[in-house]
Amino acid sequence: MGNPRGFLQIRRYKAPARPVHERLQDWNEFEGPPPLNTLQDQASRCMDCGIPFCHKSCPLGNLIPDWNDLVYRGRLDEALDALESTNNFPEVTSRVCPAPCEASCVLNIEGVPVTIKDVEHALADHAFSRPLIPRLAPLRRDRSVAVVGSGPAGLAAAQQLAREGYAVSVFERSDRIGGLLRYGIPDYKLDRRVLDRRIEQMIAEGIIFRTGVEVGRDITAEWLLKRFDAVILCIGARKARPLRVPGAKLRGVHFAMEFLEQQNRRIAGDSIPPEVALLATGKRVVILGGGDTGSDCLGTSLRQGALSVTQLELMPRPPEERLPENPWPEWPLVLRTSSSQEEGGERDFAVKTTGLLGDERGHVRALEAARVELVDGVLREIPGSAFEIPCDLVLLAMGFIGVEESPLLQQFGLTLSPRGTLPAQASERVLAAGDAVRGASLVVWAIAEGRRVADLVHRTLQSAQAAQ
């Protein structure tokens, strides 16, 4: 603890986001790292608590007090080493993670936690200010591992195993590497050049990436098991929750991921055929779902020039402050306003969609809804509260309900749980990680899952080799 009075003497300073009027004109990241001249002061606010709740609340177990102290002392390279000892992709988590570490910081009892996410962002950008040096394995092992899926869990597992000396191949059904990091998060939150830099490092570390290959169709489970000593399934949980109301099949009603992926592809330089293009330009947009995906749809719609955007949430409006039954250091169940929600649009809570109305062409023209209230834990419709919202585009961002159906499941002999997820270990040679096991969750959890399964595969293969 370099400055034992830092938390008393120095006020919390959060790096400011770009002005709304400016960032709505482009797709560049809306915020950057804090100025370096403020970084040491902010890191010095860390109290190096006897029980580091920040460390315990982070799924990765990031060594937060350690690298805060190193940053305060100006030893950025050592701080970066401490950060990367637990986190493969701090350049990603520092941009898209909701920071449960800050929520559980002891200073958050007073609402002024250490700006952990800003410090992490600055360290990650410090690493990217110079060439990323591949971390080559000290020895090469005669065992190989196939990773199916290149989202954060798959990439973390692949990198950990490559650094242990295994021959690792990653199979991705899409045309580019990254999974939801590539096509599920808007560019204004995560510049794809950041992702590409990390992938270049992974290629230099010996990982082989094969895009446009769908396991179960283009190649079989049997083919993989013949050629690899272990297979890790990191296929995500992208099965979207459907809308089951009259009119849900009208034209102009689309799942959020379809909308978000198209915009990411445009920025990447792809051409979207006009007959399938989804654009909010000049349209009245309604977004069903108040979470991160819905917020991403909002920010994307505003940048595309929507006429109006309304985001609807089924649950009641959260409280402004913690309730007594939600004490620190638990995650605070309070009202949150995302960067996109700061930019414009309307938000409404406790609204249930009851139907969609179409025009003579079969295109959506209005959403029918009613107010609901929470009574004894059950949402009940309020009599006489029905209303309509005119709309031209409805985006479904109501969450995900599990792994998508695929021939892969049958070929590996896998049965989904009631939650629509895979078992963490189907056999000694077939394992799974990430959202496919946990259900849709945070990027930081996916990275932690990837590291966990990589460690398990490493120990299993070593044990098998020792027994021979």
Nearest to 362 by CA among 253, 201, 203: 253
Q: Looking at the domain assignment, is residue 120 inside a domain?
A: yes
The token pair at 353 is: 């969609």
Q: How far, in Å, CA of 377 to CA of 359, rounded?
A: 37
- Same domain as 356, residue 260: yes
- Same domain as 262, residue 215: no
Ramachandran class of 111: left when φ > 0, alpha when ψ lies in -120 to 50, beta otherwise:
left
CA-CA distances (angstroms) from residue 42 to 71, 84, 280, 307?
9, 20, 40, 41
- Same domain as 383, residue 263: yes
Residue 438 is classified by DSSP as H
- Same domain as 363, residue 409: no
- Same domain as 257, residue 293: yes
How does pLDDT run across 418-438, given as a tens digit for each residue? 999 999 999 999 999 999 999
Q: Looking at the domain assignment, is residue 243 inside a domain?
A: no
Q: How far, in Å, CA of 28 to CA of 463, rounded?
A: 48
**Over the Cα atoms of the chain, what is R_g?**
23
CA-CA distances (angstroms) from residue 67 to 30, 44, 213?
25, 10, 40
Whether 94 contacts 39, CB under 8 Å: no
Q: Looking at the domain assignment, is residue 139 inside a domain?
A: no
Could you give the 3-state DSSP secondary structure of residue 53?
helix
Q: Looking at the domain assignment, is residue 278 inside a domain?
A: yes
Q: Where are the beta strands (DSSP E) in 268-316?
A: 284-288, 308-312
- Domain holding 91: CATH number? 1.10.1060.10
Q: Looking at the domain assignment, is residue 134 inside a domain?
A: no
Please report where in the chains the tokens 């990439």 appear, as a residue. 155
- Domain holding 378: CATH number? 3.50.50.60
Average pLDDT over residues 319-345: 95
Whether 143 contacts 103, CB under 8 Å: no
Q: Looking at the domain assignment, is residue 381 inside a domain?
A: yes
Q: How far, in Å, CA of 250 to CA of 396, rounded?
A: 13
- Same domain as 257, residue 391: yes
What is the pLDDT, as a whole number, of residue 2? 65
Q: Residues, the chain, total?
A: 468
What is the pLDDT, as a whole number, of residue 4? 83
Q: For the chain, what percent of residues have pLDDT higher than 70? A: 100
Q: How far, in Å, CA of 240 to CA of 255, rounded?
A: 7
Nearest to 237 by CA among 434, 442, 452, 450: 434
Residue 345 is classified by DSSP as -
Tally of domains within the chain: 3
Mean pLDDT of the chain: 95
- Same domain as 114, residue 193: no
Q: Looking at the domain assignment, is residue 66 inside a domain?
A: yes
Q: Which residues pair with 231 in a beta bridge?
A: 146, 430
Question: For the purposes of burial, counting CB atoms within 10 Å of the CB of 441, is it exposed (0-12), middle (13-18) or buried (19 or more)?
Answer: middle
How does pLDDT run across 175-214, given as a tens digit for each residue? 999 999 999 999 999 999 999 999 999 999 999 999 999 9
CA-angle at 158, arms to 156 and 161, nearest 5°? 105
- Same domain as 192, residue 76: no
Contacts of 297 (CB under 8 A, 6+ apart): 256, 259, 260, 285, 287, 311, 395, 397
- Same domain as 68, residue 105: yes
- Kindly tell me if the per-residue pLDDT of 250 is higher than 90: yes
Contacts of 275 (CB under 8 A, 6+ apart): none
Contacts of 5 (CB under 8 A, 6+ apart): none
- Kindly tell me if the per-residue pLDDT of 387 is higher than 80: yes
- Domain's final residue, options 104, 128, 152: 128
- Kindly tell me if the per-residue pLDDT of 6 is higher than 90: no
- Same domain as 218, residue 186: yes
- Domain's final residue, options 103, 128, 153: 128
CA-CA distances (angstroms) from residue 104 to 2, 93, 96?
21, 17, 18
- Same domain as 412, residue 309: no
- Same domain as 392, residue 258: yes
Nearest to 83 by CA among 52, 51, 117, 57: 117
What is the pLDDT, as a whole number, of residue 89? 97
At 390, which helix (H) or strand (E)?
strand 387-390
Count of C-beta atoms within a 10 Å radius of residue 57: 20
Q: Looking at the domain assignment, is residue 138 inside a domain?
A: no
- Kindly tell me if the per-residue pLDDT of 1 is higher than 80: no
Give buried/exposed letters for 69-99 (b at 16+ CB in 10 A, else e). Answer: bbbbeeebeebbbbbbebbbbbbbbbbbbbb
Count of C-beta atoms within a 10 Å radius of residue 111: 10
- Domain's final residue, options 379, 396, 413: 396
How does pLDDT run across 276-287, given as a tens digit for each residue? 999 999 999 999
Where does the pLDDT of residue 264 fall: very low under 50, low under 70, confident under 90, or very high at 90 and above? very high
> Which residues constitute the domain of residue 75?
6-128
- Kindly tell me if the per-residue pLDDT of 130 is higher than 90: no
How does pLDDT run across 28-66, given as a tens digit for each residue? 999 987 887 789 999 999 999 988 999 889 999 999 999
Nearest to 99 by CA among 181, 69, 108: 108
pTM: 0.96
